[in-house]
Each structure stands twice: as C-alpha cells, then as structure tokens.
Amino acid sequence: MQINIEFYASLMQYLPPGKSRHRREISVQDGLRVNRLVEQFHIPEKMAHIVLVNGHFVDADKRADRELVEGDVVSIWPPVAGG
C-alpha cells in the first residue's frame, strides 16, 4: 500500500531522496505498524518523539499496535520546543 511519510527538523536526514521538502510517498507492506515504520527508517526510538498519523498523536506506548492504512500521512519530529 501507499502511504506518505513526513520527517522534520533533524530527522530530515532520514528521508529517502525526493523533491518535496518533507514529504515522500512510499510503498509499504499492508498493515505496517507505526513502530516498525520508525525502525525501517533507522530513526532512534527516542528521537521519534512526536509521531502523528493524519495529524493525530500516536503516543509511544500505542505505536506497536497502531496499524497504518492506505493513504495515511505519518509525520515525525525529534524532541523540539520553542515559544
């Protein structure tokens, strides 16, 4: 299935080559779980601090259960803050 990934800030280095600044459309196996996606891109677990699927938080303890579906947008940030 096709999903979109978006990596931000220091995690941009984990993006495969592509044109858009943050987003890549990728093929993944059906039913891929969020934690596996993070591993697949070699993002250290504690650097995947904010993980959103379609703009909604998936907290760290839910990532092993959360299955992705066709068209999902997964956005990932390291620990960040500002204000």
Partner 1 sequence: MSWTRKILRVNLSDGSCTSEPLNMEWANQYLGQRGLASKYLTEEVDPACDALGAENKMIMATGPLTGTMASTGGRYSVICKSPLTGAIACSNSGGFFGAELKFAGWDMIIFEGQSAKPVYLYIQNDKAELRSAEHLWGKSAWETDDIVRQTHQDPQLRIACIGRTAEHGCLYSAIMNDKHRAAGRSGVGTVMASKNLKAVAVRGTGGIGNVHDSKAFMAATNDGKAVLAENAVTGQGLPAFGTQVLMNVINGVGGLPARNMRDVGFEGAENISAEAMAEPRKSDGKANLTTNGACFSCTIACGRISTVNPEHFSVKDKPQYQGNSGGLEYEAAWALGADTGVDDLDALTYINFLCNEDGMDPITYGCTVAAAMEMFEDGVITTEHTGGIELRFGNAEAFVAITEQFVTGEGFAADLGLGSKRLCEKYGRPELSMTVKGQEFPAYDPRGIQGIGLAYATSNRGACHLRGYTIASEVLGIPVKTEMNDTDGKAELVKAFQDATALVDSAGLCVFTTFAWGMDNIAPQIDAACEGDWSVENCLETGERIWNMERLFNEAAGFTADDDTLPKRLLKEIIKSGPTEGQVNRLGEMLPQYYEARGWTADGKIPQETRQRLSL
Positions touching partner 1 (CB under 8 A) are 6, 8-10, 12, 21-22, 46-47, 49-50, 52, 54-57, 59, 75, 77-83
| Cα-based angle 1, 65, 5 (whole degrees, multiple of 5) | 40
- The distance of closest approach from Cβ of residue 15 to partner 1 in the complex, given in angstroms and rounded to an integer, is 11
- The distance of closest approach from Cβ of residue 81 to partner 1 in the complex, given in angstroms and rounded to an integer, is 4
Nearest 10 degrees: Cα torsion 52, 56, 58, 59: 110
Looking at beta carbons only, is 32 or 74 nearer to partner 1?
74
Looking at beta carbons only, is 59 or 70 nearer to partner 1?
59
Q: Which two structure tokens, joined as six digits, stand for 74?
A: 């997964």
Q: Is 2 helix (H, G, I), strand (E, B) or coil?
A: strand
